Chains A and B, each alone.
Chain A
Amino acid sequence: MPSSTRSDDTLFKVGTGAVALIVPAVVVGIAVMLWRDSRLSIHEFGWGFWTTATWDPVSGVFGARPFIWGTLYSSILALLVSTPIALGIAIYISELSPAWLQRPLVFITELLAAIPSIVYGLWGIFVLIPFIRSIELATPAAMKALPLFSGPPLGAGMLAAATVLAIMVIPFSSAVAREVLRAVPQAQREGAYALGATRWEAIRMALFYGRTGIVGAVMLGFGRALGETMAVTMVIGNTPQVSLSLYKPQYTMAAVLANEFAEAATPLHIDALVEIGLVLFAMTLVINAISRAFIWSLGRQTRTRVDPVPAVPAAEAA
């Protein structure tokens, strides 16, 4: 009967739609709860929370500047290292490698993303930190006079954190960069070659054509780096100080949450930590939105769908 099938369809649509709404509800819920639960800290410190450098749970003074600094500094350093590497990988896989090598290479770079953060952290503590310590010990005194290399040779510190982060971010940005290069029409390259371009000149053309997507890929990596927790917590040294030095131990927003949340005793301490969570949430939201906008604008331009957030691992599966 037509009427009953129509009501069946409506029931199906409404029923599944109601369940689907749970997903946006969770996102809204996160924002609301984080806002609500940080009100003590917001009320007590206001904007000063972000500029104060003292973090003293005992006397109830909370300032987040060292954590913001550590988060931004480590993420930016990681991007400086990982971006050229990720681009190189993307270029090699999509433009240079023989066809039979493409899938295995994609798979192998995705394995980098599949290794749990805690495993990177463990490796960082027992392999990377001793290695970096030996570099620091071998650093000539003249170099250590520079602000970039000052500090005791501890091994644990900004350099270790940025290194681990760079390794962890590579698969994300290279996956998106690969998608971006794939979206560049073949005619662009053919045109370049027809005009006598060398291989690099043709690739540069393609990169220029996909530049918005490339920026998006880098920003996406930035968003990942900001929120990365365990590996960084285990190697950065967890000392709240604002310093340019690569050798000094520092601290990040995610790391202070990981270290202090379970033991926070006073309501003010908890709220200050939640406020850090709130800002981390807001920061990653903004960065992700911007990166997606960049990547989408490329997709519109080329009328290809570029997947802005590759599922990891097995990005090209979906």
Chain B
Amino acid sequence: MRNRWRKALSGTIVVLCIGAVLVALLPLALVLFYVVTQGITSLNLAFFTHGPVPVGETGGGMANAIVGSLMVTGMGAIVAIPIGVIAGTYAAEYRGTRIAVATRFAADTLNGVPSIVIGVFAFAIAVLPFHQFSAMAGSVALGIMMLPLVTRTTEELLLLVPQSLREGALALGATRARAVFTVVVPAALPGIITGVLLALARVAGETAPLLFTALNNQYFTADPRQPISTLTVQVFTYASSAYTDLHRQAWAGALVLVIIVFTCSLLARFATARLERMQRGS
């Protein structure tokens, strides 16, 4: 009797676990279904080549926002990636030192800071002093968000590089710096690329910190000192508007975002797979 009860309980739990997997897949399927079906019908050439038209008119696109997103993300990446890669290299090569521990701890901490708070910080250092919302302030926020991810993945993946490679270089009389730059870093390049791609995937969909740094702008601009529109903020503004035509564009923007983010994640996965194969020595 007791045994039957125990087996039944066990079976029930197994079923519940399978249920949990299905329950989690449901929203994923639903979100993707709506984004694709709603987005694809509104996605056209004008979306990529035209800026917004005056409210009430139909047509137009998000070309200015796409340019803005590229600019803000690109400027953030240009600063964050070198710093992150070097910091990650230090953390991996001098693992036990106090600075390495502090860097790792700070990166993990920063990784857990809500993006909206990073936005407030970017506002304080890049908007307030200049009395001006700007593309630059937006890129400060996104750069700070990329930093911990690049640092940590660089570190983790440098550690995957076989120790024998380092020893070989050092045994040939190379300095530490030379060993790192000519042997370790090139070997870990797929790993570093992974870090960069993951960081891009993460910030490409960011909205919150841009709301009060890059703000928005309905015109084309390439001036980093001006407010600039971005894909995500545009989707947010359009979603909260009352016009169905803008809603359609918001869905198209969401589709583009999902495609960008998924592509980055997939590429990151391939890059890591290569490095892991190397580590296993095949």
Contacts and interface: CB of A to CB of B under 8 A. Distances in A.
Real binding pair: yes
Contacts of B149: 311
Interface stretch (B49-57, B59-67, B105-113): B105-113
A137 interface: no
B188 to A, nearest CB: 12
Contacts of B87: 16, 19-20, 22-23
B106 A27 contact: yes
A138 to B, nearest CB: 20
Interface of B: 6-7, 9-10, 13-14, 16-21, 23-25, 27-28, 30-32, 34-35, 38, 83, 86-87, 89-91, 93-94, 97, 99-100, 102-103, 105-121, 123-125, 128, 133, 144, 147-149, 151-153, 156-157, 175-178, 180, 194, 198, 201-202, 204-208, 211-212, 215, 232, 235-236, 239-240, 247, 250-251, 254, 257-258, 261-262, 265, 268-269, 272
A119 B10 contact: no
Contacts of B212: 261-262
Contacts of A116: 204-207, 232, 254, 257-258, 261
Name, among A112, A170, A277, A289, the residue most crowded by chain B CB atoms within 10 Å (CB to CB).
Answer: A277
A88 B120 CA distance: 37
B110 to A, nearest CB: 6
Given A12-B177, A21-B99, A26-B144, A261 B123 contact: yes
A89 B24 contact: yes
Interface size class of A (residues with CB under 8 A): 35 or more
A109 interface: yes
A167 B20 CA distance: 12
A229 interface: yes
A127 B34 contact: yes
B239 A121 contact: yes
Given A27-B110, A198-B7, A33 B117 contact: no
Name, among A11, A257, A281, A289, the residue most crowded by chain B CB atoms within 10 Å (CB to CB).
Answer: A257
B131 to A, nearest CB: 13
B98 to A, nearest CB: 10
Interface stretch (A58-66, A199-207, A240-248): A199-207
A122 B252 CA distance: 11
A8 B177 contact: yes
B102 A284 contact: no
29 contacts: A5-B175, A17-B90, A20-B90, A20-B103, A20-B151, A26-B110, A33-B121, A34-B121, A89-B20, A92-B17, A92-B21, A107-B269, A109-B24, A116-B258, A119-B257, A122-B250, A123-B34, A123-B35, A201-B6, A226-B114, A258-B116, A258-B208, A274-B124, A280-B116, A284-B112, A284-B114, A314-B268, A317-B194, A317-B272
A96 interface: yes
A312 interface: yes
A80 interface: no
B265 to A, nearest CB: 5
Contacts of A224: 112
A96 B250 CA distance: 40
Name, among B18, B87, B144, the residue most crowded by chain A CB atoms within 10 Å (CB to CB).
Answer: B87
A87 B258 contact: no
Contacts of B201: 114, 313
Name, among B6, B30, B113, the residue most crowded by chain A CB atoms within 10 Å (CB to CB).
Answer: B113
Contacts of B198: 311, 313-314, 317
A86 B16 CA distance: 12
Contacts of A273: 120
Contacts of B38: 126
Nearest to B148: A23
A265 to B, nearest CB: 13
Contacts of B205: 115-119
B109 A285 contact: yes
A261 B211 CA distance: 8
A230 B236 contact: yes
